[in-house]
Structure formats: C-alpha cells, structure tokens
Amino acid sequence: GIGAMGALLLALVKGQMNGSRLGEAVRNTLEVTCMVFMILVGAAVFSLVFRGFGGEELIHQFFIDMPGGVMGATLVVMVVIFLLGFILDFIEITFVVVPIVGPILLTMGLDPIWLGIMIALNLQTSFLTPPFGFALFYLRGVAPENLPTGAIYRGVIPYIIIQLLLLVALWIWPAMATWLPATLK
C-alpha cells in the first residue's frame, strides 16, 4: 500500500500521471485480482467436489500404503509439487494441491513448520522452472533484446540446483527449519 501510494505521488509530482494511465493501472489491477479470486473459487469448488467424492480418503490410503511410510509420501508430494511447478503457477499449486495433501501429511505425524517450509521452498523453485517460472518472465522483460530466452533458461539451472540442494539438506536435517521456532516458544 505504502509503495503504491509513493509511486502514485511520485508520478503525480513528475507529471507522468493522468486519468488514462490511472485508469489503465486500475484496470490491470482488477484483472489480476479477478484472476486470483477466480482461482480461489475454482480451487474451493474443486476441493469440495474432491472431498465429496472421497478423494481425500483415497489419497490418505494411498499414502499409508506407500513404501517408506510418511517420508515416502512426503517425497512423492514434493516431487509432484516440483513437477507441477513446470506447468502451473504457485498460486494454483497452493490453493489446489496443498489443501488436499497438507492435512493428510500432518495427520501422518509430520512437523507442520518443517512441512510448510519444505512446501514453500519447493514452490519458490517453481518461480525459476521453465517454461512458466515467473522470475524468468520478469528477467525476460528487463534483459537485453539480443539475449535469447534459451540463455535465460540455461542461466537459471544453477539456482534451481541450489534450491533442490537446500530441500535435500532440510530433508536430512529438519532441525534447520524447526530449531529457531522451537527455541522461541
């Protein structure tokens, strides 16, 4: 809010703001807001239908029967979220997948802080994964015209590897995520 107000005041002072630009900004904001709310409505309807037809029980039983127990189930969820990051935005994953698998994994005994951080890091990785990683779109917008998109995709690979290594480290040493919150209690 404060940043938007500052930008508006700066544009007014510099004489770069007029009614048509303000109208365009409001229209763009409304489009994005409506898109997010439509995703929320769609996710809520999907979750209700999914639960109504017993999908949650099926997934819970699938996770229980999975080799490796709760850690095997968590690994499958992390891989699925990572792969979904290639084709879906983090908003869709957060509002469709996490409400289904999160409660199931928590009832299986996972630490909620650790699980939340693992999912958040995994979703953060989706910002970098082609072809729909938002960070790649932002970079494409500010990169020189002569820089090919393929070079941007190749350039992000080390950062994806770092994110994945951090996920592995948190998997091996969960206390990295839970120590500070436990200390603050």
Give the pLDDT confidence of 90-115 residue by residue, as tens digits: 888 888 889 889 999 999 999 999 99
- What are the Cα distances from residue 19, in Å, to 8, 14, 27? 12, 14, 12
Which residues have C-beta within 8 Å of that of residue 90, sequence separation ≥ 6?
123, 124, 126, 127, 134
On average, the pLDDT of the chain sits at 88
Q: How far apart, in whole angstroms, are the C-alpha atoms of residue 102 and residue 87?
A: 21
pLDDT classification of 12: cutoffs 50, 70, 90: confident
Q: What is the pLDDT of residues 35-52, one digit of tens each?
A: 888 888 888 888 889 888
Given this model, what pLDDT does residue 80 score? 93
Q: Tell me what the mean pLDDT of segment 148-162 comes to.
A: 89
Domain segments of the chain as ranges: 54-184
Q: What are phi and psi of 46, to 5 degrees?
A: -60, -45
Q: How far apart, in whole angstroms, are the C-alpha atoms of residue 18 and residue 27?
A: 14
Single pTM value for the model: 0.76
Q: What is the pLDDT of residues 124-137, one digit of tens each?
A: 988 888 877 778 87
